Structure 1
Amino acid sequence: MRREILARISAFENLTGAKTPIGLAPMAGACPPALSIAVANAGGIGACGALLFGPDEIADWAESFRAGSDGPFIMNLWVPDSEPHRDTLQETQIREALSSWGPAVAADAGETPILDFDSQTHAIIEARPTAFSSIMGLPSQDNVEALKEAGLLWFATVTSVDEARQAEEAGADVIVAQASEAGGHRGSFDPGNAELQSVGALSLLPTIVDVVCCPVVAAGGIADARTAIAALTLGASAVQIGTGFLRTPEAGLNPAWADALAETSPTDTALTRGFSGRLGRAVRNRYVAAIEAGDIPDPAPYPIQRGLTAAMRKDAIEKRDIDRMQAWAGQSARLAQARPAGDILTEIAEDIETFLA
């Protein structure tokens, strides 16, 4: 078993240029270059969640990363959903309800523009990361061909066995298996199936490993050596850590969010559509509890709900109010440490090496 794990890790490291089987999970809004630099310089793979970045911001992020590291990194985009259904009455009710949770919500708040995916993809190709990372579906074949022609690897995030099969058939070089423990948005190809496809790592990882030939990276619930070793034992070739790095100084997280993670047990997180309209795992704060109780109308689809909650989320950040904050958190949040990211990664890598020796 150990020889097999070592072979998988070695193949992944040769493919990506990493020196450890550990990467940063790409988290939109929570992946400053400093965090990726620390991860990459310790032998891991840096990451940028570029969902909210235009082409110039993508280029700037990559330039900032390369100013501090020559290590590998990935850049992640969401594959766009189809045009959302608009319900004027529902949106009005949500605006009225949210106005008691923060600043008044503007009448046009739901008019949330989506950045052009093709332009973002082209910018990532120009930025030349180690890999392009996708979530929420599969890029077009034209985009896949362009990525491959540019020499980029493609990491495809999936949440089910069927999605893994589809991704490999489409040409994915690496499958990222996002288990239900993961913080932030669920990566389901069909947003309507996200709740049904919330499968834990113990079941998801081995079943995906058994049906694909490419390397599988485990994501969700991994925050220390114990959880990383478990994922590698289940068949993963590497792991991604998201929430586990959020309390590091390099992450620069809002103090209220960072402090909340230290006290967040698995049952203190919840899957909610309340912030963006897309299902995601967050700290179960007062706002999330109100959504669950039906005290706030059912969320509008993504990205309408994201626009409707923008004023509240911004106000919560400015006032460090965890009860209204979009505080994404995985179920292993309590394992996150307030230490330098490089020290955390080095310690996990050394423990993995010792276990496999």
Structure 2
Amino acid sequence: MLSPTDPRILTLLSSLPDYREEEVFSVSSKLRDDGHSPEIISAALTQARLRQQARRKFADRAETMLFTADGLEQASRPDAARHHAAVFRSAGISSLREVGCGIGADTLAFAQAGLSVTARELEPDRVDIARHNLAEFPHVRVELADGLADITEPALWADPARRGAKGRLADPEEWGPPLSTILHAARQVRVSGIKAAPGIDLSILPPDATVEWLSSGGDLVEAIIWLGLGPSGRRAVLLGHGTLTVPGDPSEPSAMVDPRELGSYMYEPDPAVIRAGGIAQLCADHDLAPVAPGIAYLTGDTLIESTFLHRFAVEAVLPMQEKKLARELRRLDIGALEIKKRGVDVAPEVLRTKLKLSGSQSAVLILTPLLTGRRAVLARRV
């Protein structure tokens, strides 16, 4: 099987125009007429397509990188990878072992932060790709070997494979390597970080860990199990905007808060706050409460300033009946409607079609249980 780093592929790749799906057949035909083999053409076009997809994650740097499809999907976003590197640096780490470097996204951030890295991978094509992507950094070694063997570095970073033939692997013992195996190695070094899916079951988290949930632009992107950072707890990290810390055993259920009647404002916590169990802390800090039991919309009568909360001013509470909703929205001349929901079985896009909006004003419609039952709260963003 051809390696993506084959000079023939790289040479052809550098000459290709911007990738357009509708032009693949004509481009392939021309390249065959020019004497290129089908295997080289296919490999080069695959890399062109992956580079185009990678621009969303790596911006201009994608133009010089190589990828695999699953490696690109699992690769850390650059802002998240920079955060990983910053945590190691702030803990006094200057060198680390990386387990499962993939295409080298985290390795790149570690190298740019000045860390010396021994990155290991078990798949030869990924080793070739990572070496290509990291060629400018002499303090990085990429090796085809077991990353958990012969660890001599003071720190460890692991990004285990979390997908199988049938999709995502919910059981961490099916990861590659299994979580228990990584944790055993992680406890032999000063500081370790293990990347995980943000939906990881809290009950399986190590009680002595610091577990972070990272949010970028409002998207919950990953969870990280850190060992060796001090007191245990959970953190909601809004990349570039702040951190909310909930001390205690991260494997314990989140604290619950009694709901109250809807006030003048509704608040939607950032998803990282919700996963980190930080709602009770936000409620205590700002005199807020959930709008209903188990619902992550909060309410209060004071306008709160917080990077962890999206704010909505309540304008009306309407019944969740399509005809009544449509009539009221027409009366208010609403044409552009952002529909949000929690705890109700409604498809926002289906509802939008049925409402047949045509007005000149905009609003937010929040579908949620309240203490008085399921309601549609008409609001505006603050």
Tell me which interval the TM-score lies in, with the shorter structure as reference length: under 0.3
Answer 1 or 2: which has greater helix percent. 1
Point out which structure has higher relative CO (alpha carbons under 8 A, 6+ apart). 1
Larger Rg: 2
Q: Output the TM-score relative to the length of structure 1.
A: 0.25
More strand by share: 2
When the two structures are superposed, what TM-score results if normalisation uses the length of structure 2? 0.24
